[in-house]
Amino acid sequence: MSTVIAPSWRRVRPGTVVTGALAWAAALVLFFPVLWMFVTGFKQEAQASTDPPTWLFTPTLEQFQAILGRNFTPYLLNSLMATVGSTVLVILLATPAAYALSLAPVARWKDALFFFISTRMMPPVAIILPLYIIANNIGMLDNITMLSLIYTVMNLPIAVWMIRSFLLELPKEVLEAARVDGAGFGTEIRRIILPMIAPGLAATALICFIFAWNEFFFAVSMTATNAPTVPVFLTGFVTSEGLFLARLSAAATMAALPVILAGWVAQKWLVRGLSLGAVK
Amino acid sequence: MTTETLDAAPSATRTRRRPEPPRRTAAERWRRRGPLLPALALTILLTQVPLLGTVYYSLRARNLLRPETDEFVGLANYGTVLGDEYFRTAVLNTLVLTASTVVLAMALGIALAVLLDKKFLGRGVVRTLLITPFLVMPAAAALLWKHAMFNPLFGMLNWALSVVGIGKVDWVSQFPMPALVLMLTWQWTPFMMLIVLAGLQSQSTEILEAAKVDGAGPWDTFRRITLPHLRRFIELAILLGSIFIVQTFDPIFLITQGGPGQATTNLPFAIYQTTFRAFEVGEAAAAGVIVVIGTIVIAAFALRVISSLFQEES
């Protein structure tokens, strides 16, 4: 799907050149804000806010150092804990659930599948208040475990649907061969199914990582001083005095880079995750 | 016992065709449910229980700043919310923001997907660049657009427009809604593009070849064969996109704070404000329930499309 097909230059038609030129132009326009963020992070503040824009300059790491000096690390660690914690939990919960909805289906597996997907469609604003009050009452407000659990539930539908689609793609012959060999239930799962869907699990984990890392609404509503994540750090740039564009760009680059890289790696499976497994 | 479980794979295909699932003992049924239960329990605990909580609060008059007042008021909060100018404006803004973004992102997404479906030099790189706006952390993207793109003095948008002779515009205060739509369209175009592209690539090449042999031009082929085939993919992308774009919060919170005035206050932002700034629990909850009802209407269509794609697959 994402393979680059090298054109054979003997048969290049003018149409191909026009298509290529249009596509490249569109890509550069849409990618420009990201590129500009990346470039501006390496500027001095005075170079970042000029009219016309400054294109050539000597790159500096000053802004990145300043961000790290501004206590960025705790936010980064919170984000890492919430993201990695929830992603591990999602995979641990979703894999057996997907199994029970595909290879060894429960009676009303279809209802269960659509129940999961409908929870992903529920607007977060509709449940934030009770979650806030419950968390407050059990002392889990501003708590990274609570945030991880919320992200787990947020990503479970995507993970269940994705992993299920990978399980259904397993060749039937392999599963049957294992049965003939007399492999036990546990052995079948551990030795045959899990290794075969491992790439699918990795893809699912990457997709869940993307959504959890980028999440803002729950983070800004449910955390304050103990558990704020990277997006919450960025709110410090909503209103700032004086010149701060270079510093903002450096912070935004550091905040966004992990997911950009994860998304590039997982792009083959991105559409499956975005469409909740409905499109491959 | 083991063999029963291992029979699972073929029975998966069997149950799909027959409406009646095979009869199983109660123990066997619970053993099958076992792997599903932890995920199901956690999901119910953190989504359905809070949702019931929201419904409960929506029927009560309660303000967190005045804990002594907490009484059952029936549907009074719904009346207040529906009659309130603030919430009515928020509903309207939500509709404008969502519809404009979905339409623009879908139009662009289709155009880009059609380009990406062709062969050209560096197609993989172009695809990678095009999906990136969707990957950038929305909070970072919002601030970036606010300060680096929309800034009236040295924003890149004004710089680009100065080439065609348009003067300095203060996007966020003069044109707050178009500015948000522009930013959200940039963010959601890759989403639409990827789903449409998957649809294009699932077309049977034989039919396209046959059309060519029959002398159909590229535009006729696109309109009569490709578009009907794409219909469900486009529907799915529009419905899922709508569900997610209705929930837009990050750029409102970070770029406009719902303003100027209420020009960009959408429902999620209005509910956030009512909950965490005014602490009007009852009204916020009633507005939340109204959003859920609206979402259920769109989601019902979305689930039908997913279900039809799903049926085709099995």
Would you tell me how many other CB atoms lie within 10 Å of the CB of residue A184? 13
Burial A41-74 (b: 16+ CB within 10 A, else e): bbbebebbbeeebbeeeeeeebbbeebeeeebee
User: Residues for chain B: how many in total?
Assistant: 314
Q: Which of A186-195, B14-23, B191-200 has the highest mean pLDDT?
A: B191-200
Residue B245 contacts A where some CB pair is shorter than 8 Å: no
For A181, B6, B24, the CA distances from A176, given in Å and listed in that order, are 9, 9, 21
A26 and A133 in a single domain? The answer is: no
**The pTM of the whole model exceeds 0.80:** yes
Q: Give me the residue from B21, B136, B156 closest to A34, CB to CB.
A: B136
Shortest distance, CA A108 to any CA of chain B (angstroms):
9
A96 and A56 in a single domain? The answer is: no
A98 part of a folded domain: yes
A193 and A227 in a single domain? The answer is: yes
ipTM: 0.85
User: In this predicted structure, what is the pLDDT of residue A12?
Assistant: 59
A256 and A131 in a single domain? The answer is: yes
Overall average pLDDT of the A102-123 stretch: 85
User: In this predicted structure, what is the pLDDT of residue A5?
Assistant: 53
B126 pLDDT higher than 70: yes
pLDDT tens track for B42-89: 999 999 999 998 998 888 888 877 777 778 888 888 888 888 888 889
A120 and A202 in a single domain? The answer is: yes
B167 pLDDT higher than 80: no
- Interface with chain B: mutation pick from A51, A149, A279, highest number of B CBs within 10 Å: A279
A203 pLDDT higher than 70: yes
User: In this predicted structure, what is the pLDDT of residue A23?
Assistant: 93
User: Among A80-89, A216-225, A266-275, B254-263, where is mean pLDDT lowest?
Assistant: A266-275
A89 and A201 in a single domain? The answer is: yes
A58 and A88 in a single domain? The answer is: no
HSE-up of B113 (CA within 13 Å, CB side)? 29
Higher pLDDT: A160 or A103? It is A160
User: In this predicted structure, what is the pLDDT of residue A83?
Assistant: 96
What's the domain count of chain A? 2
For residue A179, the enclosing domain spans 71-274
A245 and A194 in a single domain? The answer is: yes
Which pLDDT band, with edges at 50, 70 and 90, does A165 fall under?
Answer: confident
Considering only CB atoms, which chain A residues are within 8 Å of B145?
33
B18 pLDDT higher than 50: no
Share of residues in chain A with pLDDT > 90 (%): 38
| CATH number of the domain encompassing residue A103 | 1.10.3720.10
Q: Within its chain, how far is the Cα of B89 from the centroid?
A: 21
Helices A267-274/A194-214 angle, 10° precision: 70
pLDDT tens track for A42-71: 988 878 888 788 888 888 888 888 888 888
User: Which 8-state DSSP code applies to residue A7?
Assistant: P
User: In this predicted structure, what is the pLDDT of residue A88?
Assistant: 97
82-101 in B: which are within 8 Å (CB) of A? none
- Fold classified for B79-313: MetI-like fold (1.10.3720)
Contact between residue A124 and residue A216 where contact means Cβ atoms under 8 Å apart? no
Structure tokens at B3: 């063999």
Considering only CB atoms, which chain A residues are within 8 Å of B217?
none
A18 and A145 in a single domain? The answer is: no
Average per-residue pLDDT in chain A?
85
User: In this predicted structure, what is the pLDDT of residue A33?
Assistant: 94
B158 pLDDT higher than 50: yes
- Interface with chain B: mutation pick from A91, A125, A168, highest number of B CBs within 10 Å: A125
Closest-CA residue to B37 (of A186, A93, A204): A93
- Which residues belong to CATH 1.10.3720.10 in chain B? 79-313
B6 pLDDT higher than 50: no
Residue B260: cis peptide before it, omega within 30 degrees of 0: yes
Would strands B60-63 and B66-72 be described as parallel, antiparallel, or unpaired?
antiparallel
User: In this predicted structure, what is the pLDDT of residue B46?
Assistant: 93
A54 and A75 in a single domain? The answer is: no
Share of residues in chain B with pLDDT > 70 (%): 92
A83 and A206 in a single domain? The answer is: yes
pLDDT tens track for B244-294: 898 899 999 999 888 788 899 998 998 898 888 878 888 888 988 988 888
A241 pLDDT higher than 70: no
pLDDT tens track for B170-228: 888 889 999 999 999 999 999 999 999 988 888 888 888 888 888 888 888 888 888 88
Shortest distance, CA B117 to any CA of chain A (angstroms):
10
